[in-house]
Chain A
């Protein structure tokens, strides 16, 4: 799995590409938690390149969300494919997580949250 990141204002956008299996989940977990520890509390995770995610990856996303909120930030997800969306629904992540159609929509949601 490849992870790239860019900064859009006060939001860090992570783009994931590949399979988030048990082993890759550790890499993702470390990358995202390191970013939160470094002060990047608002993050968007672009999942458009992710065609597979197992429970280890789902657990890592939950842990990152908990940590970012504890630091006063938030994590939003973007561009889930159909199968990943189905997995999210099975475990209730479609309700627990802030999921958007595109990274741009997820970033805009931070702006609207700040405005309100």
Chain B
């Protein structure tokens, strides 16, 4: 089965849930296993929440465009935003042995995305108004 679909919503925390519903609907149409759908759902939620919190600063409105392309073997979800570009240099490497006090401050979302997906590709905007693109790919088990 081949599916191509997309959803464009305003980047708000409320719409992160709408994005999850869209992803789960696509997953059910593709008859993904519960495990695969769980991992994709979680990675997309983390990525969407990061866009809401970090790409678009408080008070700044913008959109998230979600594109899904799926074949029998791979599900690829592309998230596009027009906010501030993601700067990998500002992200500390994830420390699986960090104390619980540090965990309360966050930092696990990116690690989950990288751990759960088979391929993660980021293309950051080169100028204001240009899109930031995050491509998440997961091989499908049958």
Q: Are A and B associated in one complex?
A: yes
Q: Which A residues form the contact surface with B (CB < 8 A)?
A: 21-23, 52, 54-56, 58-59, 62-63, 65-66, 83, 87, 90-93, 95-97
Q: Are B38 and A54 interface neighbours, CB within 8 A? A: no
Q: In the complex, what residues of B have CB within 8 A of residue A66's CB?
A: 100-101, 104
B residues adjacent to A (C-beta < 8 A): 13-14, 16-17, 20, 34-35, 38, 41-42, 45-46, 49, 94, 96-101, 103-106, 108-109, 111-112, 115-116
Report chain A residues within 8 Å CB of B97: 92, 95
Contact between B46 and A54 (Cβ–Cβ < 8 Å)?
A: yes
A96 in contact with B45 given A23-B14, A52-B38 (CB within 8 Å): no
Residues of A contacting B109 with CB < 8 Å?
54-55
Bound complex: CA of A112 vs CA of B38, how far in Å? Answer: 36
Q: Once A and B bind, how many residue pairs between them come within 8 Å at the CB atom?
A: 70
Task: Give the distance to chain A from B56, nearest Cβ to Cβ, in Å.
Answer: 15
Task: Report yes or no: B104 in contact with A63, Cβ–Cβ below 8 A.
Answer: yes
Which of A59, A93, A97 is most buried by chain B, counting CB atoms within 10 A of its CB? A59
| A residues in contact with B17, CB < 8 Å | 21-23
B38: chain A residues within 8 A (beta carbon): 52, 83
Contact A90 B115 (CB under 8 A): yes
Known: A22-B49, A54-B42, A83-B38. 10 other contacts (CB 8 A): A22-B13, A22-B17, A22-B45, A23-B14, A55-B109, A66-B100, A91-B108, A91-B112, A96-B103, A97-B100
**B residues within 8 A CB of A95?**
97
For B41, the chain A residues whose CB sits under 8 A away are: 52
**Chain A residue with Cβ nearest B41:** A52
